[in-house]
């Protein structure tokens, strides 16, 4: 293989795969990317066996061929270079990298050891606006579990809303839940009889990939994989195997106590109170009285902090405790409007909605304080 690439173009491709390549594993080749040089340019591929990314990059190809090189080292090298860079396989498994005032010999791994990667063949794609998908991910992924033992909760549940053009994302860690519906044209044609669980790590990488992208991208599901096309980039994810819990059962209905508070005012009060929150418990107390909400935290080592704001509430005095990070996650995913809370008592799940977005809702279990 012998190619010349623009540092900026190649560097972008190498940057995209950094979150996917495995640095510590029993298969050293998974720390590498596979570079395939053909007559029309090059393909750069990386996988951790669950997530695969295949990218294309323009190049001047003098000699075709395949090489497998350490993705992290390539990233570190190209981050410091400028202009045009030459990559030439000088002997089996060794690539010489040349640029202005720089040269290196990088030893790789036999490309034949690279795993067989999925292809787009057989996927039936549908279009979705990139900003819409980005919003759906950001407004649910924070609620997904991170514990290895609860693998069916370590992702975002995706399903079609029956008899509609709505796509739904749901995530929960057992203590909180977030759900969002968005209209996507062509959803009725999507062959998705039951919902699927999208892996958290993969969706984090998708979020990075589509950041700043305008217009439409393509998504498709086949067997136990989901694929996304973003421009010339393909990303495949193995779906999480298992059944997502019956999330609708935890959504409270008919909670009698209603509270409405401005998002910005609530967030400021929460930040003020969280200055002294106990780092282990992360507990804050919301105290409601007529027309007023006080957010309070206490720390045995430092003292008590309170943030106060006006709210729409006509009931008697009520105290309820929450993990402050759970509240913060909701407030930072919405940009304006009023946050509405529907409560039953200090120990029952609380429903959070936004007046400007009825298709987005969250549920949080309170804490005993």
C-beta of residue 202 within 8 angstroms of C-beta of residue 244: no
Predicted confidence (pLDDT) per residue in 259-304, tens digit: 999 999 999 999 999 999 998 889 999 999 999 999 999 998 899 9
Q: What is the pLDDT of residues 129-151, one digit of tens each?
A: 999 999 999 999 999 998 877 78
Largest Cα–Cα distance in the chain? 80
186 pLDDT above the threshold of 80:
no
**CATH architecture of the domain with range 251-364:** Roll (3.10)
- pLDDT band with cut points at 50, 70 and 90 for residue 165: confident
Q: How confident is the model at residue 187 (pLDDT cuts 50, 70, 90)?
A: confident
Q: Answer whether residue 189 shows pLDDT above 70.
A: no
For residues 87 and 95, the answer to whether their CB atoms sit within 8 Å is yes
Confidence label for 335 from pLDDT (cuts 50, 70 and 90): confident
Distance CA 235, CA 53 (A): 4
Nearest residue to 122 via CA among 28, 210, 172, 191? 191
The contacts found for 295-302 with CB under 8 angstroms, 24 or more apart, are 295/266, 295/269, 295/270, 297/273, 297/324, 302/276
Query: 3-state DSSP: the chain helix, strand, coil percent, rounded to 5?
Result: 20, 45, 35
Superfamily for domain range 2-113:
DNA Polymerase III, subunit A, domain 2 (3.10.150.10)
Indicate whether 121 pLDDT > 80.
yes
Coil, strand or helix: which one is 90? strand
pLDDT surpasses 90 at 332 = yes
Q: How far apart are CA 76 and CA 69, in angstroms?
A: 12
CA 246 – CA 153 distance, rounded (Å): 12
**Ramachandran angles phi, psi of 331, nearest 5°:** -65, -30
User: What fold is seen in the domain 127-248?
Assistant: DNA Polymerase III; Chain A, domain 2 (3.10.150)
Per this entry, what is the length of the chain? 369
Lowest average pLDDT, out of 11-25, 36-50, 93-107, goes to: 11-25
For 200, list phi and psi in degrees, rounded to 5. -60, -45
CB 287 within 8 A of CB 294: yes
Q: Look at residue 24 and tell me whether its pLDDT is greater than 80.
A: no
As annotated, the residues of the chain forming the CATH 3.10.150.10 domain(s) are 2-113, 127-248, 251-364
Would you place residue 124 in the very low, low, confident or very high pLDDT band (cuts 50, 70, 90)?
confident
Residue with tokens 């699927």: 196
Buried b (16+ CB within 10 A) or exposed e, 59-87: bebeeeebbbbbbbbbbebbeebeeebbb
- Do the beta carbons of residue 200 and residue 144 sit within 8 Å? yes
Rounded to an integer, what distance in angstroms lies between the CA atom of residue 105 and that of residue 98? 9
In sequence order, which residues have a C-beta less than 8 Å from that of residue 44 and are 6 or more positions away?
10, 13, 14, 17, 33, 34, 35, 54, 55, 56, 57
Percentage of the chain exceeding pLDDT 70: 99
Stretch 4-32: mean pLDDT: 91
């Amino acid at each position: 293989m012998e190619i010349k690439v623009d540092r900026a173009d190649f560097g972008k491709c190498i940057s995209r795969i950094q979150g996917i390549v495995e640095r510590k594993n029993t298969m050293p080749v998974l720390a590498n990317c596979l570079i395939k040089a053909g007559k029309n340019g090059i393909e750069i591929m990386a996988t951790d066996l669950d997530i695969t990314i295949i990218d294309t990059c323009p190049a001047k190809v003098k000699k075709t061929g395949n090489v497998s090189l350490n993705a992290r080292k390539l990233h570190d090298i190209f981050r410091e270079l400028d202009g045009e860079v030459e990559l030439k396989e000088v002997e089996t498994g060794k690539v010489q990298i040349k640029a202005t005032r720089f040269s290196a010999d990088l030893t790789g791994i036999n490309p034949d050891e690279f795993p067989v990667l999925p292809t787009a063949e057989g996927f039936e794609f549908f279009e979705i606006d990139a900003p819409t998908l980005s919003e759906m991910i950001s407004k649910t992924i924070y609620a997904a579990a991170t514990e290895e033992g609860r693998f069916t909760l370590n992702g975002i549940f995706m399903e079609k809303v029956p008899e509609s053009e709505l796509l739904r994302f749901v995530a929960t860690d057992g203590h909180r839940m977030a759900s969002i519906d968005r209209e996507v044209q062509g959803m009725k044609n999507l062959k998705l009889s039951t919902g699927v669980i999208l892996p958290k790590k993969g969706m984090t990488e998708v979020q990075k990939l589509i950041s700043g992208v305008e217009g439409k991208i393509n998504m498709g599901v086949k067997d136990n994989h989901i694929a996304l096309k973003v421009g010339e980039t393909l990303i495949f994810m193995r779906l999480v195997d298992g059944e997502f819990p019956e999330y609708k059962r935890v959504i409270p209905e008919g909670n009698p106590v209603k509270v409405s508070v401005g998002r910005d005012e609530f967030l400021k009060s929460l930040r003020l109170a969280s200055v002294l929150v106990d780092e282990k418990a992360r507990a804050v107390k919301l105290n409601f009285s007529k027309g007023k909400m006080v957010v309070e935290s206490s720390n045995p080592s430092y003292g008590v902090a309170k943030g106060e704001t006006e709210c729409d509430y006509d009931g008697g005095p009520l105290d309820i405790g929450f993990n402050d990070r759970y509240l913060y996650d909701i407030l930072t995913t919405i940009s304006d409007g009023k946050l509405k809370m529907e409560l039953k008592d200090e120990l029952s799940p609380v429903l959070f909605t936004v007046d400007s977005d009825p298709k987005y809702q969250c549920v949080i279990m309170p804490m005993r304080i």
